[in-house]
C-alpha cells in the first residue's frame, strides 16, 4: 500500500489530489509497492532553516528530500519538503503555473526517494529525463530546468 500525506502548515493554495496523484504514479511506475511519504509545503524561511540545520547550506532552496528507509528495503519511507514561495518565484520567472512547478518538485523529490541522484552530470541528465517523462505522463508541460543543477536537492542522510 502506498500512503501519501500532504502537510500544508502555512495554508498555501495547492491541489492535494494532484500532488498525491503525481507521487503515486511515479512510485508505482518505479516499482514501489509499499510506501509512506509525506509532502510538506512550506515557506522559504522554513526550508532555509532545514537546509541550514541538515545540510549546512545557509540559504533557502526549492526542495529537500529526507529518506527514512534504505533503498534495499521493500517499504519506502520519506519526506519531501517543498518551498511554495520558491515555486511561485521560479514559475513567474519562467512563465508557467506555480502548481506545475510544485509538481516538478514532487517528482524530483520522489525520484530521490527512489534512489536517483543528480550529483554527477550523467546522473543529473538521467534524472532530468525521468522528470520530463513523469511531467508528460501526468499531462503537464515539460518545464524541466535547463541546467543539470537547477534544482538544489540533497538528501541529509547521504550528504
CATH of the domain at 114: 3.40.390.30
Sheet of strand 35-42: strand arrangement: 2-7, 35-42, 76-83, 63-67
Residues 6+ apart with CB under 8 A from 8: 14, 16, 40, 41
pTM of the predicted model as reported, rounded to 2 decimal places: 0.90
pLDDT digits (tens, 9 = 90+) for 16-26: 999 999 999 99
Is the pLDDT at 74 greater than 80, yes or no? no
Number of domains the chain contains: 1
Q: Which domain holds residue 112?
A: 2-137
- The neighbouring-strand residues paired with 135 are none
Amino acid at each position: 500500500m502506498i500512503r501519501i500525506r500532504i502537510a500544508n502548515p502555512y495554508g498555501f493554495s495547492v491541489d492535494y489530489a494532484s500532488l498525491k496523484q503525481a507521487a503515486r504514479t511515479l512510485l508505482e511506475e518505479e516499482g514501489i509497492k509499499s510506501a509512506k511519504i509525506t509532502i510538506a509545503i512550506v515557506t522559504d524561511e522554513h526550508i532555509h532553516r532545514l537546509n541550514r540545520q541538515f545540510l549546512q547550506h545557509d540559504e533557502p532552496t526549492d526542495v529537500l528530500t529526507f529518506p527514512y528507509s534504505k533503498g534495499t528495503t521493500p517499504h519506502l519511507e520519506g519526506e519531501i519538503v517543498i518551498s511554495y514561495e520558491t515555486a511561485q518565484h521560479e514559475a513567474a520567472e519562467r512563465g508557467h503555473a506555480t502548481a506545475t512547478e510544485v509538481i516538478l518538485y514532487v517528482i524530483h523529490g520522489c525520484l530521490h526517494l527512489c534512489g536517483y541522484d543528480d550529483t554527477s552530470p550523467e546522473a543529473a541528465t538521467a534524472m532530468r529525463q525521468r522528470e520530463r517523462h513523469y511531467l508528460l505522463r501526468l499531462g503537464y508541460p515539460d518545464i524541466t530546468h535547463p541546467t543539470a543543477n537547477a534544482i538544489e536537492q540533497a538528501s541529509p542522510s547521504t550528504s
